[in-house]
Amino acid sequence: MILVVNCLVEKAFVADFNRVLSRDLEELGQPCRCFRVSEIGQIGNQDDYSHLIISGSEASTTEDQPWDQALGQLVHSFLSAGKPILGICYGHQFLAKALAGPGHVRRAAHSEFGWLTPRLEKTPLFEGLEEPEFMVCHFDEVFCLPGDFRVMASSDRCAVHAFQYQDRPVWGVQFHPEYGPVEAKPIFEAICGSSPRHNPAPPQRPEALEQRKRIFRNFLQAGG
């Protein structure tokens, strides 16, 4: 069973994330249970779960959040048990904050909105990916990680688009492998509005979008 912690705030975004991620995982034969980050105390026996996924959020990792302590304890519990962890967008930043310290997340000088093909390094999480196109939507970023992190992806505007912690199956990705154009549209409309500064361009290579799902296949295989 996969444990999913949903850090989104807007109810519609919470429901959409749970729906699309559950669909992708079920297609891979892996059931999941989704909890809002405020419900961490209701998770129960962590031995029931083999993997942990932490979602994106409208909240900022540069600010203290009421769930920081509980989510940090959950991350360290899975880490101590040697279980795979994947942080997406906010989850990526939170992993850096929890494992390296709050001095490694900041407001980005250049936020990113739209569709992006990041430069990928070789890591089991990216096995089989060839120039994939991912949704990006973030104001904050991870930066200047210590030596026990390896930067696994970057873009022209974001130096740390993905990392692996030590040699463990623990990854953060700034981009969103769970969202396609249909799911991304209401998020862009809500966050970017009509601002010309943050007007996301449509996907340039629709055929590359399906590669995003391989991220989850690779993540699940990391735990055997």
Instruction: Find where tokens 């590359």 sit.
Output: 208
Q: Which of these is catalytic: 89, 137, 138, 161?
A: 89
**What number of CA atoms fall less than 13 Å from residue 214's CA on the CB side?**
16
Q: Which of these is catalytic: 112, 133, 141, 178?
A: 178
Torsion of the alpha carbons at 100, 105, 110 and 114, rounded to the nearest 10: 80
3-class SS at 145?
coil
**Residue 27 is among the residues annotated as catalytic for this protein:** no
Measured CA to CA in angstroms, residue 94 lies from 89, 163, 224 at distances of 9, 12, 25
**Residue 178 is among the residues annotated as catalytic for this protein:** yes
Nearest to 217 by CA among 124, 123, 102: 124
d(CA 64, CA 115): 29
Strands 149-154 and 162-165: antiparallel
**Residue 176 is among the residues annotated as catalytic for this protein:** yes
- Measured in degrees and rounded to the nearest 5, phi and psi for residue 76 equal -70, -30
Measured CA to CA in angstroms, residue 57 lies from 42, 84, 150, 200 at distances of 20, 21, 24, 18
Query: Given phi > 0 = left and psi -120 to 50 = alpha, else beta, which region is 23?
Result: alpha
Residues designated as active site: 89, 176, 178
